[in-house]
Chain A
């Protein structure tokens, strides 16, 4: 495809790359007003307005608005917190709920027209979320079992023959302190990054084909069509990633709470 376009045009098609994610500041030279940062603030405003409004006139027979807000809440509470964490789940519902809605809205920015930039495709935002989850689950584990017992059970898993500790202890240290927070953040980041790049390829490619000769103009609707199909696919991935991030956070908390790891 790229070769075709280039031979027809002279100047080549520049495929989207990581440079497309480096957006300039919006207001003057202030580096704190780039698009992703403004989107984070927008998401906070949107989420709080939505849930305050939906909960303000709470009635026994809910309005449509209240029903929408409550179904998101009960999804997180029943399907995520209650099923994964068990009887102590109520303490963690606020955290998991915040995590879920924040990630969901920020991901959905990727396909909302005129915004179309998933905040989480900048790796620093998932890092912060993963780091706070990391602090939460270690804190919970230490509070529940005491620092000594908690770390002892991580380092020396009970019920394992003594000789196997040579292999298992380094792996466990790696899992708990490096791999878990890293995979948690990188999974979210890489999904959003790859999804946005995929959409860019098809939409920018379609636009470029439109500028070519008549034969290429006929192909471009297919590129746009695939772009639209992929947008729906992205919608699914974005919801799934918000769910998976929250599910894993709940699982880590449940693991820290459990008496045996």
Chain B
């Protein structure tokens, strides 16, 4: 086996954003289930939060290749 330890580090770094994304969509689904007419209000917020949390994982990915 060969490879770099960077990728192990990236795997560890991806845990946080993974949990965060799960929490965001859990909250979004909860909100829509309780109040279906709020979907159009919640959707951009949910995707915005998702994009911000996901960006952290992707920085990890970029750094894993760059370093």
Q: Which of A2, A83, A187, A191 contacts B44 (CB 8 A)?
A: A83
The DSSP consensus for interface residues of chain B is helix
Number of interface residues of B (CB under 8 A): 14
Known contacts A3-B1, A18-B65, A83-B40; decide if A186 and B47 are in contact (CB<8 Å): no
| Cβ-defined contact, B58 with A244, below 8 A | no
Write out, one digit per residue, whether chain B residues 33-67 have a CB within 8 A of any chain A CB (1) or not (0): 00000001000100110011011001101100100
| Cβ-defined contact, B58 with A187, below 8 A | yes
Number of interface residues of A (CB under 8 A): 19
**A33 nearest CB across to chain B (Å):** 26
| Cβ-defined contact, A248 with B58, below 8 A | no
Asked if A93 is at the interface of the complex by the 8 Å CB criterion, the answer is no
Residues of B within 8 A of A3 (CB): 1
Known contacts A2-B1, A3-B1, A83-B44; decide if A244 and B51 are in contact (CB<8 Å): yes
Complexed CA–CA distance, A243 and B54 (Å):
14
Identify which of residues 1-18 in chain B touch chain A, using a CB-to-CB cut-off of 8 Å: 1
| Cβ-defined contact, A187 with B40, below 8 A | no
* Chain B interface residues (CB < 8 Å from chain A): 1, 40, 44, 47-48, 51-52, 54-55, 58-59, 61-62, 65
